[in-house]
Amino acid sequence: MNKFEKHILEYIRACGMLRRGDTVLVAFSGGPDSVCLLSVLFSLKKVLGIGLSALHVHHGLRGAEADRDEAFCRELAQKMGVPFESVHVDVPRLVREKGLSEEEAARILRYEALEKTLERRTDKKDPEGETGRGWIAVAHHADDQAETILLNLLRGSGLKGMTGMRPVRGHIIRPLLESGRQEILKYLSEKQLAFCVDHTNLENDHTRNYLRNEILPRLTEEINKKSAEHIAAAGQMIFEADAFLEESAAKVFAETGSLDRENGRVALKRRTLKEKPQILRRYVIIEGLKQLGVPLKDWGEIHYAGLDEALFLPARTHLDLPGGVYSENTRETLCIYTAENAAGKTGSGMITSGGDTK
């Protein structure tokens, strides 16, 4: 076990990622990051007591280059003695059918393939007879984390978007998340491990690629060589602040909010909530939406800000929100209703006011 592998082992243990008897399926593209991930987990397999396999997803893009990547992955996995599968998916078809970008369609199909393969592979038992947990290991690292945080910041994300990726989320683990790209390349060089290069990642036609290829290197070279690490560290601090605010909001919601599941409604006491700091009010509103079961994928700061503003507006103020959700003020409460009660509301985010009582 070399220094880099020891560092990853310590990170895995610190995050509570794996226990003996677990099964890990590596998302194996053949790029430098996934080659590093597979190699490190293979080296740590015995000390961790885990089962290990790899899945390559061929996206139906990039022609001969993609075929080359698939063949490379199969050969390297065979050399290591790691069980390997390759799945072909049709990204262009999903793009046509759903109107998605190639990047988003590829991500959806990739994770679907990983989930299905993991489900088939998590039927083994550990030596004590307990069923091991199944995990999908992906090769996101500290530079990816910095890219994600910067991208969300530029898109106008709230605190949650700037927390970045978590080391463990659901059954996804990211053992390399604390390691930088240069550390990974150094490890591959020391181990004399080859890897594939996806030339589409070198093109700056996507914002993330531009951040990766232009902005972060310039920050590293011209401002601070640890720029990516510092951005990732800031993301961790923001995550801790976000967790604290979520916990605080749950307590405030218990004091100021009420949930009526049968009628699809949350009611927030306006007078009490208006006295709280603005950021905490936003989190209480989000807590109410979560308890109501509202999917927040298409929600942004403009919508939370609209609900916060509505707290201070007269009774009978109405606000249309994404997914048919809407809010209406009474004298005492801000009421948020699910789509079932929306009667065809548009979700435009427009506030209309129809009263004069605050």
Residue spans of the domains in the chain: they are 3-235, 261-352
Walking along the chain (358 residues) 10 residues at a time, the average pLDDT comes out as 94 94 95 96 96 93 88 95 93 87 88 90 52 89 91 80 89 94 94 87 74 88 87 90 94 92 90 93 93 84 89 90 90 89 46 46
Cβ burial, residue 354 (10 Å; 0-12/13-18/19+): exposed
Please name the residue that has the structure tokens 């793009």: 95
Give SS3 for 78: helix
Please name the residue that has the structure tokens 């590293």: 220
d(CA 321, CA 311): 15
Residue of 234, 237, 226, 272 whose CA lies nearest to 252: 272
Measure the CA angle with vertex 26, ends 78 and 184; round to 5°: 90
Give SS3 for 355: coil
Measure the CA angle with vertex 265, ends 261 and 270; round to 5°: 135
Give SS3 for 300: coil
Are 171 and 134 in contact by the 8 Å Cβ rule? The answer is yes
Please name the residue that has the structure tokens 């079932």: 340
Four-way CATH pick for 261-352: 3.20.20.450, 3.40.30.10, 2.170.120.12, 3.30.465.60: 3.30.465.60
DSSP bridge partners of 132: none
Residue of 169, 131, 166 whose CA lies nearest to 19: 131
d(CA 48, CA 13): 9
E-state strands within the chain = 23-27, 51-58, 84-88, 134-137, 168-169, 172-173, 257-260, 265-269, 318-320, 326-329, 333-337, 351-352
pLDDT recorded at residue 348: 45
d(CA 278, CA 275): 9
Residue of 160, 347, 314, 119 whose CA lies nearest to 246: 160
Measure the CA angle with vertex 85, ends 83 and 169; round to 5°: 85
pLDDT recorded at residue 100: 85
Amino acid at position 175, single letter: P
Joined together, the tokens standing for residue 296 give 């927040």
Give SS3 for 229: helix
Give SS3 for 9: helix
According to CATH, the topology of domain 3-235 is Rossmann fold (3.40.50)
- Phi-psi category of residue 49: left, alpha or beta, with phi > 0 → left and psi -120 to 50 → alpha: left
Give SS3 for 222: helix
d(CA 132, CA 19): 8
Please name the residue that has the structure tokens 């993330």: 208
- Phi-psi category of residue 156: left, alpha or beta, with phi > 0 → left and psi -120 to 50 → alpha: left
d(CA 16, CA 174): 12
Are 87 and 117 in contact by the 8 Å Cβ rule? The answer is yes
Are 268 and 256 in contact by the 8 Å Cβ rule? The answer is yes
Sign of the dihedral defined by the CA atoms of residues 70, 71, 74, 77, in that order: negative
Give SS3 for 61: coil
Task: Give the pairing type, strands 134-137 and 172-173.
Answer: parallel
Which string of b and e fits 144-158 if b means at least 16 CB within 10 Å? bbbbbbbbbeeeebb
